[in-house]
Amino acid sequence: MKFLLILFAFCLDSPFQWALGVITHEFLYGIKLFAADLTVKILNNILSGQINSDNNLNDTLSEEAPDFINRLLTHSPEKRLGYGGVGEVGNHGFFTHMDWNMISSSYLAEL
């Protein structure tokens, strides 16, 4: 989880928010979103938004997990979660039980 938090801190720009969605999906579901046998096909899948995904793969995840990922993967940057600021991402239901103050304090203490 700490790795995700570090990524989250750097995901202020829209392309990075999209990347956070891809990485979060791979961490939680264990499958690559744009998998294909050839690099050209992977690139085409990314550009076309062709996602190899089944959000029913892990019944142990919260209902917020697929919503969080899908909103980060929204094609239009203006509609993407986080476009209005990093607070949008941190306030998403996926992080309901996250104590950002405690995490910030403990992370800063380690520096």
pLDDT along the chain (111 residues), means of 10: 55 72 86 81 77 60 87 87 84 85 64 52
Write down the pLDDT at residue 98: 80
Sorted by sequence, the CB contacts under 8 Å of residue 99 that are 6+ apart come out as none
Per the structure, how many domains does the chain have?
1
- Whichever domain contains 13, its CATH number is 1.10.510.10
> Within a 10 A sphere around the Cβ of 61, how many other Cβ atoms?
16
Write down the pLDDT at residue 71: 92
Task: Give residue 34's domain range.
Answer: 2-110
14/83 Cα distance (integer angstroms): 7
13/101 Cα distance (integer angstroms): 22
Write down the pLDDT at residue 8: 56
Write down the pLDDT at residue 84: 84
φ, ψ at 79 (rounded to 5°): -100, -5
Write down the pLDDT at residue 68: 92
pTM of the model: 0.71
